[in-house]
């Protein structure tokens, strides 16, 4: 009800996402402050309540249209749940599903939305979000003082442990809305990541390259260093989007999460989406000519040397 | 097929950011503005759809966006058929989406393609908000659009390299993450020609209020809680130090 914190569960293949646990853990904390419950909405046939013991309530909606994620069907189901449960705050991931649903529900449920949230607290009953603006160069502190609100939360902002705590949630089945019987959108197929390429998630050392490399021809320069170090070459989004390296090498929110013993970043400025995928590396060494790049805030060592000087110097030392 | 591509300008991220006197907003006066990078991708994908399936691409900007004329003319130089400038503006997505929805209600599109997000959309992303106001289906984080008969098939991307192909009945709104190819380049001479020819259509719409409902208490540059230890010296000195760091962790043999 009016003090509850509702989290939308994201799941595929019977597995809940990391973000679901991150949001549920935070929902429990916030609900203690608002005096409400931590509720999780689960859509589809999967029986996931057993994995959501940290919640007070699991609100479950099943319908053939919810067998997998379809933006339109999820939007209808979530709008229906919001109307029935009237939570104080809806928490969504700031990834594909949350990006689809958050802004739409801000209009449909008539609730303000704080996007790109990296922190959430409750002050005198009012949720207050800290949000990234301009790719993380600016933070905004935003009070959600309307009687209902939505926050989409950047992955990795909160720990998962509190959301994975033991307990037993009360399961509340909710009848699906009739609008789900009509669809303007359907899934044709689901495409799993290409297998067969090197697995960058298991490497001890990664050499990673970003937009600063400038051209496809210069990838070879960094590849030579990677070869000399016997490490896979990974990349940030602009490099894989340009087709200079395969998608299987992309580190970040829409790519892979990596946690190597050392991560060497060349020409990567450190957009929040990239940092989300590599901030847990044990040692981060970053090379970027812009001393103000966000990558230097999480790197352990940094240099503003030109990568076109530094990379060959490194390769030479290893091959010498 | 009529494809409408809303475009917006955002502060150039390489600029130093200053705040307004009250500290609750970004001081836009001295900032350089550039096309939102996801809108650039959306325009490219829209042009690719037009080239594959035919139709008309209409780029739409809001008059109050700094440097929007340059962006609209550049889009025409790249291959957009028409450019429309809607009077008014608003720094929130709620306000923008209200204006665009009012325009699109009067001039309906088969397909609305725009960037999945923008660097300054604190109150939410445009495509889902616009779709909700127009009552249209929507999908975001899309990396390819293929036009069919009365529908489009889009590829929507998820974390970890997973993606799904969705078939969406038209009219629809699509939020583009990345185009199928690198956005094309328009030569300066071509942009100048287009500018001289003029031809941006000015439109006034009556939009309902689009307040975002957030109370922004303050905006600030994040404190650097930690910072990399910067390695001094030229490339050779830095290379020596990096090799030493890796060697001390057993990551370099010898």
Residue pair B168/B140 in contact (Cβ under 8 Å)? The answer is: no
- Beta carbons of B157 and A254 less than 8 Å apart: yes
Q: Do A139 and B158 touch (CB under 8 A)?
A: no
Is A266 in the B-facing interface, judged by CB distances under 8 Å?
no
- B179, closest residue in chain A (CA to CA): A241
| Chain segment B88-122, per-residue pLDDT in tens | 887 799 999 999 999 999 999 999 999 999 999 99
Which residues, 6+ apart, have CB-to-CB distance to B238 below 8 Å? A287, A303, A305, A310, A313, B231, B232
CB of B54 within 8 A of CB of B1?
yes
Under 8 Å between Cβ of A80 and A59? no
How far is the C-alpha of A127 from the C-alpha of A130, rounded, in Å?
A: 10
What mean pLDDT comes out for the span B155-161?
88
Rounded CA-CA distance A234/A240 in Å is: 9
Candidates B125, B133, B228; nearest CB to A300: B228
- pLDDT tens for A265-292 read 999 999 988 998 999 899 999 999 998 8
Q: How high is the pLDDT of residue B225?
A: 67
- Choose between B233 and B80: higher pLDDT: B80
Phi, psi of A142 (to 5 degrees): -125, 125
Question: What pLDDT score does A247 carry?
Answer: 85
Round to whole Å and give the CA distance between B145 and B46.
Answer: 8
The overall average pLDDT reported for chain A is 94
CB contact under 8 A, B251 and A69: no
Angle subtended at Cα A51 by Cα B158 and Cα A190, rounded to the nearest 5 degrees: 25
Suggest the residue from A82, A126, A140 to mutate for an interface test with chain B (most B CBs closer than 10 A): A140
Q: Which pLDDT does position A320 carry in this prediction?
A: 66
Is A102 exposed, middle or buried (CB count within 10 Å of its CB: 0-12, 13-18, 19+)? buried
Q: What is the DSSP string of A214-272?
A: -SGGGHHHHHHHHHHHT--EEE-HHHHHTTSS-GGGBBSTTSB----SEEEEES----H
A 132-171: CB under 8 A from B? 133-146, 149, 152, 155
Q: How many CB pairs under 8 A join A and B?
A: 268
* DSSP-based three-state secondary structure for A276: helix
Closest Cα to residue A71, out of A89, A98, A53? Answer: A98
A115 chain-B contacts, CB cut-off 8 A: 121-125
Which residues of A are less than 8 Å from B226 in CB distance?
A: 297-298
Highest average pLDDT, of B20-29, B156-165, B190-199, comes from B190-199
The answer to whether the Cβ–Cβ distance between A262 and B169 falls below 8 Å is no
- In this structure, how many other beta carbons lie within 10 angstroms of the beta carbon of residue A172? 16
CA distances, B145 to each of A178, A222, B172 (Å): 30, 33, 12
Residue of B nearest to A243 (CA): B181
Q: What is the least distance, in Å, from the CA of B60 to any CA of chain A?
A: 20
CB contact under 8 A, B230 and A137: no
Q: What burial letters (b/e) apply to B164-178, b meaning 16+ CB within 10 Å?
A: bbbbbbbbbbbbbbb
Contact B228 A302 (CB under 8 A): yes
Average pLDDT score over chain B: 93
For CA atoms B91, B94, B97, B98, the dihedral sign is: negative
- pTM listed for this prediction: 0.88
Q: Does B133 touch chain A (CB under 8 A)?
A: yes
In angstroms, the CA B99 to CA B62 distance is: 8
Tell me how close the Cα of B73 comes to any Cα of chain A, in angstroms: 25
Contact (CB, 8 A) for A90 and A96: no
Q: Would you mind telling me the total number of residues written for chain B in this entry?
A: 254
Q: Which residues of B touch A145 (CB under 8 A)?
A: 215
Q: Which of residues 32-91 of B touch A (CB under 8 A)?
A: none
Instruction: Specify whether the CB–CB gap between B210 and B217 falls below 8 A.
Output: no
Distance CA A98, CA A119 (A): 16
Please list every residue in chain A whose beta carbon sits closer than 8 Å to the beta carbon of residue B31: none
Chain A positions touching B13 (Cβ under 8 A) are 134-135, 137
CB A214 within 8 A of CB A271: no
pLDDT of residue B49: 98
**Whether B17 and A137 lie within 8 Å, measured CB to CB:** yes
Q: What is the mean pLDDT of residues B68-80?
A: 97
Q: Do residue A134 and residue B17 have CB atoms under 8 angstroms apart?
A: yes
Question: Do B91 and B211 form a contact (C-beta atoms < 8 A)?
Answer: no
State whether residue B123 is helix, strand or coil.
coil
By CB neighbour count within 10 A (0-12 exposed, 13-18 middle, 19+ buried), where does B226 fall? Answer: exposed
Predicted confidence at residue A292, as pLDDT, reads 85
Average pLDDT over residues B80-88: 95
Burial group, residue A215, by CB count within 10 angstroms (0-12, 13-18, 19+)? exposed
For A191-239, the pLDDT digits (tens) are 987 766 788 988 999 999 999 999 999 999 999 999 999 999 999 999 9
Checking if the pLDDT of B254 tops 60, the result is no
C-beta of residue A234 within 8 angstroms of C-beta of residue A206: yes
Greatest Cα pair distance in chain A: 71
Cβ contact B158–A115 (<8 Å):
no
Asked if A100 and B123 come within 8 Å (Cβ–Cβ), the reply is no
Taking an 8 Å cut-off on Cβ atoms, the answer to whether A72 and B172 are in contact is no
Residues of chain A with pLDDT > 90, as a percent, come to: 83
What pLDDT is attached to residue A1? Answer: 66
Whole-number Å distance between alpha carbons of A117 and A61: 27
What average pLDDT does range A50-57 have in this prediction? Answer: 96
Q: What pLDDT, in 10s, does the model give residues B167-207?
A: 999 999 999 999 999 899 999 999 999 999 988 999 999 87
Condensed to tens digits (0 to 9), the pLDDT of residues A73-116 reads 999 999 999 999 999 999 999 999 999 999 999 999 999 999 99
Q: Say how far apart CA A218 and CA A211 lie, in whole Å.
A: 11
Query: For the residues A43-57, what does the mean pLDDT come to?
Result: 94
């Amino acid at each position: 009800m009016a003090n509850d914190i509702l989290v939308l569960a994201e799941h595929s293949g019977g597995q809940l996402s990391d973000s679901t646990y991150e949001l549920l853990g935070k929902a429990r904390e916030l609900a203690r402050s608002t005096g409400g419950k931590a509720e999780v909405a689960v859509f589809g046939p999967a029986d996931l309540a057993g994995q959501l013991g940290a919640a007070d309530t699991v609100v479950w909606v099943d319908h053939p249209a919810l067998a997998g994620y379809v933006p339109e069907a999820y939007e209808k189901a979530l709008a229906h749940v919001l109307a029935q449960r009237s939570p104080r705050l809806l928490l969504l991931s700031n990834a594909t599903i949350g990006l689809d649903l958050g802004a739409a529900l801000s209009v449909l449920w008539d609730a303000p939305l704080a996007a790109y949230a990296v922190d959430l607290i409750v002050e005198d009953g009012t949720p207050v979000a800290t949000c990234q603006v301009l790719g993380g160069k600016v933070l905004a502190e935003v009070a959600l003082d309307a009687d209902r609100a939505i926050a989409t939360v950047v992955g990795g902002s909160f720990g998962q442990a509190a959301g994975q705590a033991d307990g037993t949630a009360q399961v509340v089945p909710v009848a699906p809305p009739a609008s789900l019987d009509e669809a303007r959108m359907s899934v044709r197929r689901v495409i799993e990541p290409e297998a067969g390429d090197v697995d960058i998630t298991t490497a001890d050392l990664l050499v990673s390259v970003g937009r600063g490399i400038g051209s496809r021809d210069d990838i070879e320069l960094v590849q030579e260093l990677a070869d000399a170090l016997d490490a896979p070459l990974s990349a940030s989004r602009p490099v894989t989007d340009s087709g200079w390296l395969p998608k299987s090498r992309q580190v970040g929110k829409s790519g892979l999460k990596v946690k190597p013993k050392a991560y060497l970043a060349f020409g990567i400025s450190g957009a929040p989406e990239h940092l989300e995928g590599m901030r847990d590396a044990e040692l981060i060494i970053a090379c970027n000519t812009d001393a103000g790049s966000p990558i230097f805030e999480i790197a352990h060592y940094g240099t503003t040397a030109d990568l076109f000087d530094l990379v060959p110097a490194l390769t030479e030392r290893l091959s010498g | 097929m009529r494809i409408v591509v809303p475009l917006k300008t955002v502060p150039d991220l390489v600029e130093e950011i200053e705040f307004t006197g009250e500290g609750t907003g970004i001081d836009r006066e001295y900032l350089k503005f550039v096309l939102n990078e996801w809108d650039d991708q959306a325009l490219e994908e829209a042009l690719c759809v037009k080239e594959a399936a035919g139709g008309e691409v209409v780029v739409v900007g809001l008059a109050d966006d700094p440097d929007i004329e340059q962006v609209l003319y550049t889009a025409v130089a790249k291959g957009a058929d028409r450019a429309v400038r809607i009077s008014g503006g608003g720094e929130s997505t709620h306000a923008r989406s209200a204006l665009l929805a009012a325009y699109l209600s009067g001039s309906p599109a088969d397909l609305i393609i725009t960037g999945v997000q923008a660097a300054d959309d604190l109150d939410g992303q445009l495509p889902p908000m616009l779709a909700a106001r127009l009552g249209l289906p929507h999908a975001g984080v899309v990396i390819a659009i293929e036009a069919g008969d009365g529908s489009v098939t889009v590829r929507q991307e998820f974390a970890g390299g997973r993606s799904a192909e969705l078939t969406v009945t038209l009219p629809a709104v699509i939020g583009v993450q990345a185009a199928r190819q690198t956005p094309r380049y328009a030569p300066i001479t071509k942009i100048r020609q287009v500018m001289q020819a003029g031809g941006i259509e000015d439109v006034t719409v009556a939009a309902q209020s689009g307040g975002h409902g957030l109370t922004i208490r303050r905006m600030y540059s994040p404190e650097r809680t930690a910072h990399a230890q910067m390695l001094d010296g030229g490339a050779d000195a830095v290379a020596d130090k990096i090799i030493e760091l890796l060697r001390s962790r057993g990551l370099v043999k010898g």
